[in-house]
Structure 1
Amino acid sequence: MSPLYARHKRTTLAIATAVAAGALVSAGLATTASAAQTPAAAKPLAAAPSALSAAAHTSLIERAQTDAPQTARQIGLGAKEKLVVKDVVKDVDGTVHTRYERTYAGLPVLGGDLVVHTAKSGRTEGVTKANKATIKVASLTPRLTPAKAEKQAVSAAKSLGSAKSTADGARKVIWAGSGTPVLAYETVVGGLQDDGTPNQLHVITDAATGKKLFEYQGIENATGTGKTLYSGSVSLTTTQSGSSYQLTDATRGGHSTYNLKHRTGGKGTLFTDADNIWGTGTASSSSTDQTAAADAAYGAQETWDFYKSTFGRSGIKNNGVGAYSRVHYGNQYVNAFWDDSCFCMTYGDGSGNNHPLTALDVAGHEMSHGVTSNTAGLNYSGESGGLNEATSDIFGTGVEFFANNASDKGDYLIGEKIDINGDGTPLRYMDKPSKDGGSADYWSSSVGNLDVHYSSGVANHFFYLLSEGSGAKTINGVSYNSPTYNGSAVTGIGRDKALQIWYKALTTYFTSTTNYKSARTGTLSAASALYGSSSAEYKAVAAAWSAVNVN
């Protein structure tokens, strides 16, 4: 879970997701948000992902799993290692990228994920590994007891504000997230964090020495839509049930929006309405308020359409199944979050319970955490955690531009509508991240020590420079002036191409342990595959990384 804004008790940055909803929508009819304009389809690039049906995608996964033992031998894995298919991406030209998790002697290998790249002919073209070290552990008998590992994990959670006194269990794993692989315990501590956000702290402990090797939050937060608060009056796809309507979108994987009525647990109650007009366009502290629900439904709708139209991706898991959203979480909860365990988004109502965190870029941000979780699985700590957060900012920005909503025009500002700072300023700036007072403009050896919402600045700045270039300019009425570390002048290649490069890198070249140096390698590989190694796009990627001091 990752909060989207900075708090005093935890130096994290959270982002809201707002969704505007408001027009009448007949049940059973697939309606597209009236504010969204879908661009004319262009001829797909040879290395762009193919749009696969759910059945075709499932078939590829099943075939890859059947062939997994042979694949393991072909890429040189040991006798104790097995591959478990996580996802398969097929390019237009027939190239297949199969993402695997790994086991060793039956134990999960954390940080052992890899991607095998196979040509249409069936020839293996390369393997991208999270850890290149050989998986070989001398003993699978731990010296440390599970109880001690759990005690250490609870202590770590308490230091972050959790009141939970017991862990939710410890399991033996092989830790390969960094350095030499070792036998370890993964312990998960639940409960609540200091601000009421659900807690899902994963602590990795060396099973021989008791040393804490790694920790990360499994909950990824932010803050976060008929007649919406942020996006004006929009069209929503709903479902008719008898004489009433349900806020369920059957055309987008069955996404539904639920009311928690200020509780912090459970799924909540599905929103229903008699006239199919949702919300009033204004916020209310009432737990029955529909405006926040309209924003959330609209955000989910636009995010689904963005991924489908831009990348051919059908839902967060690319399997045609929609997530669900919960609004009115907790009491004056100033945040929103994605939780992969429930496959759902959750939004607080903010200060006074009448400032819901349901802006459009927040919705895109939150659901993109789910995409990251189900593709590269970037560890939510250190540089990989910064890349995880930046990925959500990048695609959240993509959703906002895609929606083309007159009430919330596309920009390179994050969370500008929700005003968490109370002074009208956004949470983050992509053109010059340091304007928020904490984010990094450029890479340095200490970037990985920052909170992930601040270390994300390096990748956000890279993406802005790759899209728009350096220097002063005005886009949709917003003024930007992006500097460079080396004083170079960077020429952008346009946001559409930059998005394609980042998505391909995320889904086919990034792994759980990708840092900024390997992100540079991954995006260059993506640019080469999409546009060629001698293309202007490839050169622009290299130039933009150099401009943020990643070489």
Structure 2
Amino acid sequence: MSSLAKALSVAILMGTAGQSAAAINGAAVDRALTAVRLNPAATRLSAADAFTARSVIVDANGTEHVRMDRTYRGLPVIGGDMVVHSRAGVLQGTSVTLAKPINVGVTPALSVDSAITAAGVQFGTQFEAVPSASLVVFAASANPKLAYDVLYTGTAKDGTPQRMHYYVDALDGAILAKEDAIKTGILPGTGAQTGTTPPPPSVTPASGPGYSLFAGTVPLNTQWNATRRIYELVDSTRGNTAITDMGNGYRGAGTLMVDADNKWGNAALSDRVSTGVDASYGFTKTWDFYKNTFGRVGIRGDGVGAMGAVHYSINYVNAFWNDDCFCMSFGDGNGTTVRPLVAIDIVGHEVSHGVTAATAKLIYSGESGGLNEANSDIFGTMIEYYANNANQPPNYVIGEQIFATPAWNKFIRTMFKPYLDKTSPDCYPNAANPAGTGNRPMSEWSMMDVHYTSGVANHFFYLLAEGAVVPAGYDAGTPANLTPASLVCNGNTALVGIGREAAQQIWYKALTQYMVSNTNYAGARAATLSAAADLYGAGSREQQAVADAWAAVSVF
């Protein structure tokens, strides 16, 4: 499988469908904290715990969902976050992955320098800044441990920046886990900061046509800079989202894209602005999708836009979201077989990493990492359907437009049949899974890259929305030669979908109200069942469809 099969990585956004972190409902937080104190078993409460509310969502029936981060004796708890669900001050349930209250010492036996050295053995010598380390409680595994969070920054061989966090046991120096703050589209990566949005001088909103590589001629919201006497590719109607040109470098923020006549690009690579048009269009449709579909205003739900940097590095076949600078970077491809990575489903994928970071904060490794990637695939695809652009026909095939020579087997991933890439499993590990679907024993599954284990959740979502229906162009007699039986892991070819609208509402509610940082596939099943019950009623057709779709990918 080519490296492109790993495309579309994690973007991270913050916000909620209800109230943003900037406008948290203080009374709801107080009620949630009271519920925590009164229900220590359900919340895994220890005497040394403290909590900070990150977001509040209030349902129409008055149920409050308060997402909280946990500290233990003043130390951040990795994997200790939870969502408290209550109504009229009475606890309805909790979303939490801690198995029991934390009880660890907070005095390290290992020095900071030794922890940095232990992490450095894995990272190597190609780091670009002095590594840093801070104490945390690592509770993303069964037994919480005192650990150092050691951060190394550098650049991967393919040019992707790296910001790798290593969790080092503070007693014996063992590496407990690692997580990259950079979420790539194609290859796993981390990233050096690509900058922040330049502060605007005297500007007024404007609009002009954009001539893109992939989306056709599209309207762009821009701004007239009266100080510089030039138009800038900044959308003040969407939180001052800005597009810059990295000049094929990899440091700094790049140069803000400008134009004299407010006509942008020429629909070809000969004008560097054409790539920026696609990026701007993708940001626009992503912002509008989240706002109009879920009531979410901006990536973090706070009305603030992000920055997109095009022309990142040379022959860079990737795109990535950087948690730390709240920005995206887009490579130009390899100049031959792969074009710039600014197709709308790729943009939507990366930006949706930001939504994950602001809500469930799914840890980017193991099963939670696969769900993180799947969330971006799911919403990148739904954004493509939302845009409904004839030049970018919506489908459940991800990234097909970036290939210079289109073909049925040129894609990054396929949601309806992940194993078309010959790597991503169709089904969760299960001895009964049919041969030829990428089935892996649990020992191999647990070691797979998150861009592959995401396939099971992608597959679930397709079946939930569409049912066991083979997409046009992939059915019997085509090169893919798929049948309804090819799409399910349990033989249930009668599976009927509930439609994209209901499916995306269920997934979004599950992500923002029920999933937490260490949610696994079993937890995702429980989260979507709860979300379906909230939206459509316990025992409803939609909730049964959720159960049936998970069963069809062997998650029980």
What is the TM-score with the length of structure 2 in the denominator?
Answer: 0.85
Distance 2:283 2:213 in 1: 15
Counterpart amino acid of residue 537 in structure 1: E
What is the TM-score with the length of structure 1 in the denominator?
Answer: 0.86
**Which of 509, 519, 523 is 2:524 aligned to?**
519
Distance 2:52 2:302 in 1: 18
CA separation of 1:166 and 1:226: change in aligned 2, threshold 3 A: closer
**Which of 16, 41, 59 is 2:23 aligned to?**
59
Contact 1:238 1:246 in 2 (8 A): yes
Contact 1:68 1:84 in 2 (8 A): no
User: Counterparts of 1:272-287 in structure 2 under 5 Å?
Assistant: 272-284=258-270
| 2:510 corresponds to | 505
| 2:326 corresponds to | 343
Distance 2:219 2:211 in 1: 9
| 1:187 corresponds to | 150
**Which of 307, 310, 317 is 1:324 aligned to?**
307
Counterpart amino acid of residue 253 in structure 1: G
Distance 2:303 2:247 in 1: 29
Contact 1:150 1:166 in 2 (8 A): no
SS of 2:308's equivalent in the other structure is strand
| 1:367 corresponds to | 351
SS of 1:540's equivalent in the other structure is helix
| 2:538 corresponds to | 533
| 2:395 corresponds to | 411
Contact 2:5 2:413 in 1 (8 A): no
Distance 1:234 1:545 in 2: 39
Give the superposition deviation at 1:473: 4.4
| 1:100 corresponds to | 68
| 2:436 corresponds to | none
Counterpart amino acid of residue 545 in structure 1: W
Match status 1:206 vs 2:206? no
Distance 1:99 1:247 in 2: 35
Match status 1:300 vs 2:263? no
Give the superposition deviation at 1:69: 5.4
| 2:454 corresponds to | 456
Match status 1:441 vs 2:446? no
Counterpart amino acid of residue 535 in structure 2: L
| 1:399 corresponds to | 383
Counterpart amino acid of residue 192 in structure 1: T
Counterpart amino acid of residue 422 in structure 2: G
Distance 1:528 1:436 in 2: 34
Counterpart amino acid of residue 75 in structure 2: L
Give the superposition deviation at 1:64: 5.3
Give the superposition deviation at 1:355: 2.3
Give the superposition deviation at 1:476: 12
Contact 2:490 2:552 in 1 (8 A): yes
CA offsets 1:359-410 (integer angstroms, 9 cap, x no match) = 0000000000010011101111111111110000000000000001010011
**Which of 463, 466, 472 is 1:465 aligned to?**
463
User: Counterparts of 1:210-229 in structure 2 under 5 Å?
Assistant: 210-222=173-185, 226-229=210-213
CA offsets 1:95-149 (integer angstroms, 9 cap, x no match) = 2211111000000000000001122x23221111131321111x21111111121
CA separation of 1:170 and 1:125: change in aligned 2, threshold 3 A: same
Give the superposition deviation at 1:475: 8.8
Give the superposition deviation at 1:349: 1.0
Counterpart amino acid of residue 487 in structure 1: G
Give the superposition deviation at 1:91: 1.9
Distance 1:175 1:204 in 2: 7
SS of 2:354's equivalent in the other structure is helix
SS of 1:282's equivalent in the other structure is coil
Counterpart amino acid of residue 13 in structure 1: K
Q: Which range moved further: 299-308 or 187-196?
A: 187-196
| 1:30 corresponds to | none
| 2:199 corresponds to | none
CA separation of 1:245 and 1:132: change in aligned 2, threshold 3 A: same
SS of 2:217's equivalent in the other structure is coil
Match status 1:143 vs 2:97? no
| 2:99 corresponds to | 132
Give the superposition deviation at 1:68: 6.9
Contact 1:387 1:515 in 2 (8 A): yes
Extract unaligned runs of 5+ from structure 1. 18-48
CA separation of 1:174 and 1:403: change in aligned 2, threshold 3 A: same
Counterpart amino acid of residue 141 in structure 1: T
CA offsets 1:73-105 (integer angstroms, 9 cap, x no match) = 234222211001122222233322111110000
Counterpart amino acid of residue 178 in structure 1: S
Counterpart amino acid of residue 249 in structure 1: D
Distance 1:15 1:262 in 2: 20
Extract unaligned runs of 5+ from structure 2. 11-15, 188-208, 430-441
How many residue pairs match? The answer is 502
CA separation of 1:270 and 1:401: change in aligned 2, threshold 3 A: same
| 2:415 corresponds to | 430
| 1:156 corresponds to | 122
Contact 2:32 2:84 in 1 (8 A): no
Distance 1:6 1:513 in 2: 29
Distance 2:366 2:18 in 1: 33
Q: Which range moved further: 393-402 or 344-353?
A: 344-353
Give the superposition deviation at 1:191: 1.1
Distance 1:282 1:407 in 2: 15
Distance 2:377 2:464 in 1: 15
CA separation of 1:541 and 1:16: change in aligned 2, threshold 3 A: closer
Contact 1:409 1:476 in 2 (8 A): no
Contact 1:50 1:91 in 2 (8 A): no
CA separation of 1:146 and 1:260: change in aligned 2, threshold 3 A: same
Counterpart amino acid of residue 129 in structure 1: V
CA offsets 1:160-180 (integer angstroms, 9 cap, x no match) = xx7217652111000100111
**Which of 214, 238, 245 is 1:252 aligned to?**
238
**Which of 268, 271, 275 is 2:254 aligned to?**
268
Distance 1:248 1:323 in 2: 10
Contact 1:191 1:199 in 2 (8 A): yes
Match status 1:14 vs 2:37? no
CA separation of 1:463 and 1:367: change in aligned 2, threshold 3 A: same
Distance 1:154 1:330 in 2: 26
Q: Which range moved further: 347-356 or 464-473?
A: 347-356
Distance 2:73 2:5 in 1: 38
Contact 1:279 1:291 in 2 (8 A): yes
CA separation of 1:376 and 1:50: change in aligned 2, threshold 3 A: closer
Distance 2:35 2:2 in 1: 45
Counterpart amino acid of residue 328 in structure 2: M
| 1:123 corresponds to | 90
Contact 2:32 2:66 in 1 (8 A): no
Point out which structure has higher relative CO (alpha carbons under 8 A, 6+ apart).
1
